[in-house]
A and B are shown apart, each in its own frame.
Chain A
C-alpha cells in the first residue's frame, strides 16, 4: 500500500471513528443521565406504587397483542408487495408506510374519525353497543396502526432478498405453497422477521400520541407506560424518571433477547444453504 493510500485509509477511519463515537455518545449520555439521576432505592420506592405495575402490565399485554396482530396481518402484505407486480404497487407501498409518517396525534384523530362513536365505521357499531374509544381494544388498534409498517417493511426487505429459486425448488418437490411458506421461506428470512418484530414491538411500547387521542387515558384500562410517564412528568418528575428507567430496562431486555436469538439462527441458516 502506497503512502498516500495509507494516509487516506487513516483519515477515513479517523473520520468514521469520530462521527460514530460522537453519535454513540449523543445516544448514551441522555440515557446514562436518566439512570444516575436518583439513588436506586428511590427508584425502587417509586416503582412500588400500585398504578405503576398496572401501567406496565397494560403496556406489556397490549404491545404483545399489537405485535402479534402486526405480524399476522403484515406478513401477507409483505409477501404480496415483495413477490407480485401489479398496477398500484407503488401506491400500496406508500399506503403501508404512511402511518409512520403521520404525526401520532394525527393518526389518533384519524382513528377516532373512523372508529369513533360517530365515525365512518364506528357509527355502524354504536347501535349494537360496541364503542371502541376509551377501551383497551382502542389501545391495541392505535399501537398496531403505528407499529405494523415497521414489521411489514422489514419483512418485505427480507423477502425481496430471498432468492425465489428456493421456493421454486420446493414447488418442484411437490411442496404446497403453505408448506413452502412455513418451512422454507419463513426460516430463511428469520433475521428480517425478528428485526421487524423488534422494531414493531418497541414502537408500540413507546406509542403515546395516537393512544391518548384515540383511547384516552385511564389507569388500568388505557394508561400505558408512556402515558403514565407523561402524566407523572408534569407533577412528579421523580416518579416519571423511575418509570422511564423501567421502560428503558424492559425495552433493552427485549431487544437484547431478540438480538441474542439471531446468531444461532444465522448459524443454522448457513448450514442449510444450498452450495
Chain B
C-alpha cells in the first residue's frame, strides 16, 4: 500500500515532463494565424553565419519569420573558420554564410555544400576607441611604437583580410616594408572572431583594430571612431552563401538563400553597411 504513494511524486514529474515536451508544437507563432500553427509545425532552419552578419541577419529574421509563418530561423554566429569545422564534424546546418571564399572553398572541398553564391560584400575599416588614447588619425600612425593593435587571427577572415591590407600597404611606395613590419610588431592579440576585436577596442584596451564596416553598428558608433582605408589598399570581402548538402529542409533553405539575394534582402544588408551585389554584374568571385 505504501509503494503507490511513494511513486506519486515521480509520476507527477514524468507527467509534467511529457506535457512540456508535447506542448512545443502548439505554441502560437507571432504574426501567423492561430489556426495555421496547429496544422503545420514550424520548420526550423539552422543558419551558420559569420559573426559579422549578426546584426543584419537578426533584422532579416524578424522580417523573414513574419512573411514566412511556418519558418523559424535559428542562428549560429561565429568565425567562419569555426563554422566550417563544425559542419565538417557533423553539425546540423541548413545554410552556411561565410565571410570569405577560403572557408566556403573548404566546405566545397569537403563536399558539404551546394553551389555557393556571393550575396554581400564588405569593406574593412580601422577603428579606434572614442577617447583615442594613442592619438591615431591615419593609417601611418599605426607604426608608432607602443600602439596596441588587435586583429582577427590569421585563419579568421577578418584577420586574413587585415594582413592582406598591410601587405598592400607594405608593397606601396607611400608606406613601405618597414611600415608593415612595425605595424605587425604592434599587434598584441589575435582574436577568434571579428566581434572580439570590436569588443577590445570598445573597452579601450586596444588602441586600434581592423574590422568590417558593418561591425560599426549603432550600438558601437558612440564608443569608436572610424578611420577609412583608401580603396587602393582596402580589401573587398566576398560573402558567399550556400545550402548545405546535409540539409533536411533544402527547399526552405534555398528560399532563404534566394531572399538574401533578392532586393529585399539586399536592402537590409546595405542598411548595415554591407555592399550590395546588385551593382556589380553577377557578383562572382574576384
Interface residues of A (CB under 8 A from B): 112, 116-118, 131, 133-134, 212, 216-219, 221-222, 230-231, 233-235, 237
Contact = CB atoms under 8 A, between A and B. Distances in A.
Given A218-B187, A218-B190, A233-B85, 20 more contacts: A117-B133, A117-B205, A118-B204, A131-B148, A134-B148, A134-B189, A212-B192, A216-B191, A217-B153, A217-B189, A217-B191, A217-B192, A221-B188, A231-B155, A234-B81, A234-B85, A234-B155, A234-B192, A235-B155, A237-B85
A237 B148 CA distance: 30
Interface in B79-127: 79, 81-82, 85
Contacts of A221: 188
A117 B153 CA distance: 22
Contact of B189 (A112, A118, A131, A222): A222
A131 B82 CA distance: 31
Interface residues of B, number: 19
Contacts of A212: 192
Contacts of B85: 233-235, 237
Which one of B79, B187, B189, B200 has the greatest number of beta carbons of chain A within 10 Å?
B189
B188 A134 contact: yes
A238 B262 CA distance: 40
B147 to A, nearest CB: 12
Nearest to A129: B146
A235 B204 contact: no
B249 to A, nearest CB: 27
Given A216-B150, A235-B81, A116 B190 contact: no
A116 B204 contact: yes
Q: Which of A131, A212, A235 has the most CB of B within 10 A?
A: A235
A112 B190 CA distance: 17
Interface of B: 79, 81-82, 85, 133, 148, 150, 153, 155, 187-192, 200, 203-205
Contacts of A134: 148, 188-189, 205
Contacts of B203: 112, 116, 118
A216 B153 contact: no
8 contacts: A112-B203, A212-B192, A216-B200, A233-B85, A234-B82, A235-B81, A235-B155, A237-B85
Contacts of A131: 148
A221 B190 CA distance: 11
B128 to A, nearest CB: 13
B150 to A, nearest CB: 7
B194 to A, nearest CB: 14
Contact of A216 (B81, B82, B133, B189): B189
Contacts of B192: 212, 217, 230-231, 234
B225 to A, nearest CB: 16
A231 B153 CA distance: 8
7 pairs of A and B residues whose beta carbons are closest in the complex = A216-B189, A134-B188, A235-B155, A234-B81, A118-B204, A234-B82, A133-B205
Contacts of A218: 187-190
B135 to A, nearest CB: 15
A112 B205 contact: yes
A36 B69 CA distance: 48
A212 B191 CA distance: 8
A237 B88 CA distance: 11
Contacts of B81: 234-235
Contact of A116 (B82, B153, B187, B205): B205
A221 B148 CA distance: 14
Nearest to B83: A234
